[in-house]
Amino acid sequence: MTRRAHDITKTTQRAPHVGAIDLFCGVGGLTKGLARAGVHVAMGVDIDPACEYPYTANNAAKFLRKSVSELSVQDLLHEFGDARFKLLAGCAPCQPFSKYKQKLGPADGRWHLLGHFGRLAAELRPDFITMENVPNLAKQDVFKEFVTTLETLGFHVSFDVVNCAEYGVPQQRHRLVLLASRHGPIKLISPVRRNSWKTVRDAIADLPPLEAGEVDPHDPLHQSCELSPLNMRRIRASTPGGTWRDWNKSLVADCHKRNTGKTYQSVYGRMSWDEPAPTMTTQYFGFGSGRFGHPEQDRAISLREGAILQSFPKGYKFTPKGDPIYRKTVGRLIGNAVPVKLAEAIGQTIVAHAEACAGKRKKAA
Q: Tens digits of per-residue pLDDT, 230-259?
A: 999 999 999 998 888 888 788 887 776 655
* pLDDT at res. 359: 77
Residue 164 among the catalytic residues: no
* pLDDT at res. 92: 82
How far is CA 299 from each of CA 61, 95, 103, 289, 312, rounded to the nearest angstrom?
36, 28, 32, 13, 22
* pLDDT at res. 9: 38
Cα 19-115-350 angle, rounded to 5 deg: 30
* pLDDT at res. 111: 52
Domains in the chain, please, with CATH? 3-197+339-364 (3.40.50.150), 200-335 (3.90.120.10)
CB 176 within 8 A of CB 159: yes
Q: What is the pTM of this model?
A: 0.89
CB 37 within 8 A of CB 11: yes
* pLDDT at res. 106: 52
CA neighbor of 327 nearest in space, from 201, 234, 238, 224:
224
* Residues of the chain predicted below pLDDT 50: 1-14, 94, 96-98, 100-101, 104-105, 107-110, 260-262
- Of the residues 25, 51, 94, 357, only one is catalytic, namely 94
